[in-house]
Amino acid sequence: MTTTAEDRTDVDESGVGVALRDYLAHLRVERGLSTNTVSAYRRDLARYAAYLAAVGRGSLAEVSEADVEAYLAAVRQGDDGGRPLSPSSCARALAAVRGWHRFAQAEGIAVEDPTREVAAPSQTRRLPHALSIDAVGRLLDAASAGDGPTSLRDRALLELLYSTGGRISEIVGLDVDDVGADAAVRLFGKGGKERVVPVGSYAREAVEAYLVRARPVLASAGSARGRSTPALFLNTRGNRLSRQSAWAVLGTAAERAGLAEHVSPHTLRHSFATHLLAGGADVRVVQELLGHASVTTTQIYTMVTPEALREVYAAAHPRAL
């Protein structure tokens, strides 16, 4: 399999290093994972590869179950020289390590998978943070503090994030042709999987205003090559808006709205799912809208929130009030 500069790691030319580059190339080319996802795998697995080198394991075939368990204990406490990981980060690291060892077994690099019986560290299941409907409204209003091109773009961007529940990478990756005239948008999720998501009237109006009154202005700021870009959301240089710039747009709007809590693009995704389920949407419909491979991932949004508990208690208990 051909490797590129994107697949290079900080490990040496040992059997472990070569196996890691082959696995990253597999994730990028054969599984079609995004650059950001492959980068996350690279970070986790480079740390694991460095640990294996430190304990004298020259190939994945030499790694035992005890080695994997010792690695998890080391990264949990930071004993390998890196920062200590939380239980959730340890679980993510184990998932990356397990995927690599399974690949090695399938490719004949190793006979056994030493991660097969290794359990992920226990962790407290927390409710995803979601904004109230009122807070979302204030946030969206704050995004359009003005009538200039960037204000119209910012409002359309955040309206579309909340209306579709899309990931920030999916939204900034949209092209103009992905926004259909049938009140729906095509999103391309993990592994390039496509899904069609309805778009609400507020988002449709915001996107239409942006396309008519703002995008042509932003496009004209770029070069002739930039003006022909199919990207939906553009920066002030006429190029596709980056994930980092979209984060900045959201942060500025949250500050203007006076929201004390931390707000990220995923906060709007969580709010989208929580508000749909609270409004009576079926969990499997929400699963399809979010692009979750398993309904188990979506079911976390069905957990009863403290606010809902208080409301039911106050309404039902004879001595609550």
CATH number at residue 240: 1.10.443.10
Is residue 266 flagged as an active site residue? yes
pLDDT tier at 305, thresholds 50, 70, 90? low
Q: Are 92 and 149 part of one and the same domain? A: no
Write down the pLDDT at residue 223: 60
Domain with 173 in it: 133-310
Write down the pLDDT at residue 217: 93
Catalytic residue from among 26, 153, 155, 269: 269
Q: Are 156 and 203 in contact (CB under 8 A)?
A: yes
Is residue 167 flagged as an active site residue? yes
Residue 96 domain-assigned (yes or no): yes
Catalytic residue from among 8, 266, 284, 310: 266
Q: Are 13 and 142 part of one and the same domain? A: no
Is residue 301 flagged as an active site residue? yes
The residues pairing with 186 across neighbouring beta strands, listed in sequence order, are: 196
Rg (CA), the chain: 23
Would you state the structure tokens that stand for residue 7, as one six-digit string? 């697949």
Q: What percent of the chain has pLDDT over 90?
A: 57
Residue 261 domain-assigned (yes or no): yes
Q: Is the pLDDT of residue 256 over 50?
A: yes
Q: Are 9 and 16 in contact (CB under 8 A)?
A: no
Residue 244 domain-assigned (yes or no): yes
Instruction: Average the pLDDT over 45-62 and give the result.
Output: 93
Residue 124 domain-assigned (yes or no): no
What does residue 237 show for φ and ψ, rounded to 5 degrees? Answer: -100, 5
Q: What is the pLDDT of residues 62-103, one digit of tens each?
A: 999 999 999 999 998 888 888 998 888 898 999 999 999 999
The CA distance from 263 to 153, in Å, is 19
Residue 303 domain-assigned (yes or no): yes
Nearest in space to 264 (alpha carbons), one of 253, 250, 252, 274: 250
* Angle between helical axes of 87-106 and 65-77 (0-180°, round to 10): 150
Instruction: Average the pLDDT over 40-49 and give the result.
Output: 94
Residue type, 93: A
- Of 152-156, 210-214, 304-308, 312-316, which range is least confident? 304-308
Residue 264 domain-assigned (yes or no): yes
Nearest in space to 252 (alpha carbons), one of 139, 169, 164: 139
Q: Is the pLDDT of residue 125 over 80?
A: no
User: Which residue in the block uniquely carries the two structure tokens 């710039």?
Assistant: 245
Q: Are 286 and 170 part of one and the same domain? A: yes
The residues pairing with 179 across neighbouring beta strands, listed in sequence order, are: 185
The CA distance from 173 to 163, in Å, is 16
Helices (H), the chain: 15-25, 35-54, 65-77, 87-106, 133-143, 149-164, 168-172, 201-213, 215-220, 224-227, 243-256, 265-278, 283-290, 295-298, 306-316
Burial class of residue 51 (count of CB atoms within 10 Å of its CB; 0-12, 13-18, 19+): buried
Q: Are 224 and 283 part of one and the same domain? A: yes
pLDDT tier at 225, thresholds 50, 70, 90? low
Q: Are 179 and 92 part of one and the same domain? A: no
Please state the domain count of the chain.
2
Q: Are 40 and 96 part of one and the same domain? A: yes
Q: Are 9 and 82 part of one and the same domain? A: yes
Q: Are 100 and 50 part of one and the same domain? A: yes
What does residue 222 show for φ and ψ, rounded to 5 degrees? Answer: -90, 180
Is residue 155 flagged as an active site residue? no
Q: Are 139 and 250 part of one and the same domain? A: yes
Q: Are 80 and 169 part of one and the same domain? A: no
- Of 89-93, 105-109, 119-123, 168-172, which range is least confident? 119-123
Instruction: Average the pLDDT over 20-35 and give the result.
Output: 91
Q: Are 235 and 166 part of one and the same domain? A: yes
DSSP secondary structure, 146-167, as one string: SSSHHHHHHHHHHHHHHHH---
- Of 7-11, 98-102, 191-195, which range is least confident? 7-11
Catalytic residue from among 26, 47, 155, 292: 292
Q: Are 74 and 174 part of one and the same domain? A: no
Write down the pLDDT at residue 9: 45
Note the Cα 174 to chain centre separation in Å: 16
Final residue in a domain of this structure, among 60, 91, 106: 106
- Of 78-82, 142-146, 212-216, which range is least confident? 142-146
Q: Are 72 and 121 in contact (CB under 8 A)?
A: yes
261 or 118, which is more confident: 118
Cα dihedral across residues 114, 297, 91, 121: positive or negative:
negative
The CA distance from 217 to 257, in Å, is 27
Is residue 317 flagged as an active site residue? no
Catalytic residue from among 190, 213, 243, 256: 190
Catalytic residue from among 167, 204, 270, 275: 167
